[in-house]
Amino acid sequence: MNNTDKAKLDAARRMLKGKIAIEEVSMMIGLPVEKLKPIKDEIDEEVRRVYGNVDAYDFGTEPILFEDFDDIGLDEDLPENGQTEEE
């Protein structure tokens, strides 16, 4: 196996880990689905072993940003009228 084939398989592995469909990976990389199937099975087994058959995408989490947040709802950095110093 030459370096080009290794690079294609590595790229396919990363794409499959990123939840791209095996048919799309096959089309983009130029490898047959039959050659990618063992890689996909290995990744699926690894996910089952690590997450206990719960996919990280099942959680549906979204990024949340907290800036100067305290749990009692008071933010002493903001003035009472809600305007910033620049205004």
How far, in Å, CA of 11 to CA of 32, rounded? 14
- The answer to whether the predicted template modeling score (pTM) of the entire model surpasses 0.95 is no
Report residue 41 as tokens: 């099975």
Per-residue pLDDT of the chain (87 residues; tens, 9 = 90+): 788 889 999 999 999 998 899 999 999 999 999 999 999 999 988 877 776 655 555 555 565 555 555 555 555 666 666 555 555
How far, in Å, CA of 31 to CA of 41, rounded? 16
Q: What are the φ/ψ torsions at residue 9 (nearest 5 degrees)?
A: -65, -40
Report residue 65 as tokens: 């940003």
Report residue 12 as tokens: 């396919």
Per DSSP, the three-state class of 52 is: coil
